[in-house]
A and B are shown apart, each in its own frame.
Chain A
Amino acid sequence: MSDYTLETEAGRREALRRMLLIREFDTTAGERFNDGDIPGFVHLYIGEEAVGVGTCGALEPEDYVASTHRGHGHCISKGLDPELMMAELYGKADGYCNGKGGSMHIADVEAGMLGANGIVGAGPPLATGAALTIDYQDRDQVALAFGGDGSVAQGQVHEAVNLAATWDLPAIFVIENNQYGEATPVEKQHNVDNLSDTAGAYDIPGVTVDGMDVTAVYEAVSEARDRALAGDGPTLIEAETYRYRGHYEGDHEPYRDEAEIEQWRERDAIESFKERLIERGELTEAEFEEMQAEVEETIADAVAYAKDADLPDPEQAYDDMFGEPVPEIQQFASRPRADGGTEGGDPT
């Protein structure tokens, strides 16, 4: 069983907690980025939490997920540890990728996370490949790729879906339609009304669901997973959602107005799911506040851990290029270092 499922009361509370955890993680990551603690850039998932959590709630821990540049929410949904994620964002040696990946490449293949990805559209071929391994080794798993609305225009996404469909692989493709690819609205990028309409080209089921409703996402992915496990091939799911923040932190957002953002906020996934649980008598306002406080503490701890953690030694730049190292790189790794710092350049 997944460590949470929307079928049980405890699972629904866990789903709510994870959505809160994502929002708190990304709110904090945005703040720490803005004050210069976190290098590079960050793409925040705030507003889209129901898609990641609804999706991963329908998966089992051993299922594979290929993520995108907007990957923090997928990682938390999949059960990755916020401390090690934050340490990676901070570029620390004990982050998920030993500081080599950062926000856009958090990965933990053992835990089924095939990586956030800096290349739009690169995840679906990887998930198709993971599904090929599953099929080849007769394992009881599925592989799922997230992609943005923008990714649907990429040639390699078409190739990946077609391959998975033709070979009936246990794959699921979840398109997060957050209405924009960077600054360009979805209707300026695609000719179809619903991005799931493209499923017809592969003769696989295509569904569009309300991505602000964690239950709707969960149900669509559960059905897709059953189908995949039964050997009936992939499903294309479009989840309609919205990002509250800019494309990246620092985006001045000339392409939309406050009123539009407000409209989506009125349907906020966390708020509406919380209300639903309260109505059903599965949660009280006090319990929610307790949950919120606990999540804030978890993320504060993650930041403290990340700040405190060691940066990698410069020599670690030469690690992990290959399973079997090559002399071309070893000569840099093993040269004497007077100052302990990197000089780069020639290995004399």
Chain B
Amino acid sequence: MTAQAELEADQTETMTVREAIREALREEMRRDEDVYVMGEDVGRFGGVLEVTGDLFEEFGEERVRDTPIAEAGFVGAATGAAATGTRPVVEIMFSDFMGVSMEQTMNQMAKMRYMFGGKTEMPVTVRTTEGGGMGAASQHSGTVHAWIAHFPGLKAVAPGTAASAKGLTKAAIRSDDPVFIFENKMIYEREGEVPTDEDFTVPLGEASVEREGADVTVVATQRLVGESLDVAADLEGDVSVEVIDPQSLYPLDTDTITDSIGKTGRLVVADESPLSYGIHAEVATRVVENAFYSLDAPIQRVGTPDTHMPFSPPLEQEVLPDGDGVRAAIERIT
């Protein structure tokens, strides 16, 4: 690399998670004519959570396509389009609506490559929003990333920072596999430093050590990455907290997590999803399988208590996992 190129590769810009995703879409659409976006009101309107924003102005209605309200139809169409040579990026407005398109997702998108003996690529990206905190109530606040991470044939990523939001979105679009991007709607305004290099990606299956520490490892996702970093900063001097953002839920970077446990011996898993049968269990199991003898304390889970997301703010706050929950979990085992 030349000195100039190296300098450029290191350059960053401050932007929000929302802007980072939009820039990723913009760069990939500029880079590859076959990439286009579709979903409900993603065009002129710019998306209900304003992620696609001004892309319509640059790329027009052919490449930023407003669809009818028909998740099965357009997720199915994206699947057929991906199998035949284009690279659609679909937005499902709220992940709660994925039930409508689940047939096409689980029986077509996830299975076609395998059932056909490898005779098709499936370069489709599905972006969707997740999580509580907006008072949007049960049908617009769900967290379903564990479904997709669990279902064979699909890949799932969940950014926690602006940098990973951009890098994961770009990696997802460049992948020839179906990748779901789970965007927590409470962190769209969160700012961070984002590499400006147009070839910056976050490879699928790579975790990021967001903060190094020696006493306890917090594996945190989405909104809980930032909140765990705040807790770690607060506890500095008392407890040395390592914070890892897996970034990619499937495939999951087992090595980075188990290496960290080798160092700290303690694990907290913080993910805004129901506690039973989910992401927490998977991370814990991999640590038990691979680093059992390094563990010095029981594994702690921070998540939603298997309820739906209630509407009323005091109720919503009650069930939403947060930094206080992470701090309490750390304090229980250190």
- Contact A156 B73, beta carbon cutoff 8 Å: yes
A172: min CB distance to chain B, Å? 14
- Contact B117 A97, beta carbon cutoff 8 Å: yes
Contact of A98 with B117 at beta-carbon distance under 8 Å, contacts A130-B84, A156-B72, A326-B251 already known: yes
Answer yes or no: A287 CB below 8 A from chain B CBs.
Answer: no
B204 in complex: contacting residue of A105, A124, A155, A324, CB < 8 Å = A324
- Contact B76 A64, beta carbon cutoff 8 Å: no
Contact of A166 with B68 at beta-carbon distance under 8 Å, contacts A159-B76, A322-B113, A326-B205 already known: yes
Answer yes or no: B155 CB below 8 A from chain A CBs.
Answer: yes
Distance between Cα atoms of A222 and B197 in the complex (Å) = 50
Interface string of A102-122 (1 = CB under 8 A from B): 000101111000110111001
Answer yes or no: B252 CB below 8 A from chain A CBs.
Answer: yes
Contact of A137 with B254 at beta-carbon distance under 8 Å, contacts A96-B119, A97-B116, A129-B80 already known: no
Q: With a CB–CB cut-off of 8 A, which chain A residues contact B104? A: 122, 125, 156
Question: Closest A-chain residue to B76, C-beta based?
Answer: A125
Answer yes or no: B298 CB below 8 A from chain A CBs.
Answer: no
Distance between Cα atoms of A166 and B66 in the complex (Å) = 11
Q: With a CB–CB cut-off of 8 A, which chain B residues contact A129? A: 76-84, 88
- Contact A105 B81, beta carbon cutoff 8 Å: no
- Contact A162 B251, beta carbon cutoff 8 Å: no
Contact of A98 with B118 at beta-carbon distance under 8 Å, contacts A114-B83, A129-B82, A326-B250 already known: yes
Given A125-B77, A322-B153; 10 other pairs, CB 8 A cutoff: A107-B116, A108-B116, A128-B76, A129-B76, A133-B85, A159-B76, A162-B70, A321-B114, A324-B176, A326-B155
- Contact B120 A107, beta carbon cutoff 8 Å: yes
Distance between Cα atoms of A117 and B104 in the complex (Å) = 11
Question: Closest B-chain residue to A145, C-beta based?
Answer: B80
- B 42-88 contacts with A by CB, 8 A: 62, 67-68, 70, 72-86, 88
Answer yes or no: B177 CB below 8 A from chain A CBs.
Answer: yes
Answer yes or no: B182 CB below 8 A from chain A CBs.
Answer: no
- Contact A126 B83, beta carbon cutoff 8 Å: yes
Question: Closest B-chain residue to A95, C-beta based?
Answer: B117
A115 in complex: contacting residue of B36, B115, B122, CB < 8 Å = B115
Contact of A160 with B73 at beta-carbon distance under 8 Å, contacts A119-B103, A129-B83, A326-B250 already known: yes
Contact of A156 with B103 at beta-carbon distance under 8 Å, contacts A163-B67, A163-B68, A322-B155 already known: yes
Distance between Cα atoms of A160 and B108 in the complex (Å) = 14
Answer yes or no: A57 CB below 8 A from chain B CBs.
Answer: no
Q: With a CB–CB cut-off of 8 A, which chain A residues contact B176? A: 323-324
Distance between Cα atoms of A124 and B72 in the complex (Å) = 11
Answer yes or no: B112 CB below 8 A from chain A CBs.
Answer: yes
A157: min CB distance to chain B, Å? 9
Residues of A within 8 A of B (CB): 64, 66, 95-101, 105, 107-110, 114-115, 117-119, 122, 124-134, 136-137, 143, 155-156, 158-160, 162-163, 166, 319-324, 326-328
Question: Closest A-chain residue to B119, C-beta based?
Answer: A109
Q: With a CB–CB cut-off of 8 A, which chain B residues contact A158? A: 73
A107 in complex: contacting residue of B74, B119, B121, B204, CB < 8 Å = B119
A319 in complex: contacting residue of B85, B108, B118, B250, CB < 8 Å = B118
Taking each of A96, A115, A126, A155, which has the highest tally of chain B beta carbons within 10 Å of its own beta carbon?
A126
- Contact B113 A136, beta carbon cutoff 8 Å: no
Question: Closest A-chain residue to B114, C-beta based?
Answer: A320
Distance between Cα atoms of A126 and B81 in the complex (Å) = 7
Question: Closest B-chain residue to A100, C-beta based?
Answer: B117
B70 in complex: contacting residue of A136, A137, A163, A322, CB < 8 Å = A163
Interface string of B95-128 (1 = CB under 8 A from A): 0000000011001100011111111111000000
- Contact A125 B85, beta carbon cutoff 8 Å: no
Q: With a CB–CB cut-off of 8 A, which chain A residues contact B79? A: 125-126, 129
Closest 6 pairs (CB-CB, A-B): A129-B80, A125-B76, A159-B73, A98-B117, A126-B80, A323-B176
Answer yes or no: B313 CB below 8 A from chain A CBs.
Answer: no
Q: With a CB–CB cut-off of 8 A, which chain A residues contact B103? A: 119, 122, 156
Taking each of A66, A143, A156, A319, which has the highest tally of chain B beta carbons within 10 Å of its own beta carbon?
A156
A110: min CB distance to chain B, Å? 7
A79: min CB distance to chain B, Å? 16
B78: min CB distance to chain A, Å? 6
Answer yes or no: B138 CB below 8 A from chain A CBs.
Answer: no
Taking each of B68, B72, B86, which has the highest tally of chain A beta carbons within 10 Å of its own beta carbon?
B72
Contact of A115 with B76 at beta-carbon distance under 8 Å, contacts A129-B84, A162-B68 already known: no
Q: With a CB–CB cut-off of 8 A, which chain A residues contact B68? A: 159, 162-163, 166
Contact of A321 with B82 at beta-carbon distance under 8 Å, contacts A122-B108, A163-B77 already known: no
- Contact A327 B205, beta carbon cutoff 8 Å: yes
Distance between Cα atoms of A130 and B81 in the complex (Å) = 5
Answer yes or no: B175 CB below 8 A from chain A CBs.
Answer: yes
Distance between Cα atoms of A56 and B285 in the complex (Å) = 52
Distance between Cα atoms of A326 and B153 in the complex (Å) = 10
Distance between Cα atoms of A100 and B153 in the complex (Å) = 14
Question: Closest B-chain residue to A347, C-beta based?
Answer: B289
- Contact B80 A114, beta carbon cutoff 8 Å: yes
Question: Closest A-chain residue to B83, C-beta based?
Answer: A109
- Contact A101 B72, beta carbon cutoff 8 Å: no
- Contact A155 B72, beta carbon cutoff 8 Å: yes
Question: Closest B-chain residue to A169, C-beta based?
Answer: B77
- Contact B78 A323, beta carbon cutoff 8 Å: no
B119 in complex: contacting residue of A110, A127, A160, CB < 8 Å = A110
Interchain residue pairs with CB less than 8 A apart (10): A107-B112, A119-B107, A126-B83, A132-B80, A132-B86, A155-B72, A158-B73, A320-B117, A320-B118, A327-B205
- Contact B112 A322, beta carbon cutoff 8 Å: no
B73 in complex: contacting residue of A125, A319, A327, CB < 8 Å = A125
Distance between Cα atoms of A134 and B82 in the complex (Å) = 11
- Contact A137 B73, beta carbon cutoff 8 Å: no
- Contact A320 B113, beta carbon cutoff 8 Å: yes
Q: With a CB–CB cut-off of 8 A, which chain A residues contact B254? A: 327
- Contact B70 A159, beta carbon cutoff 8 Å: yes
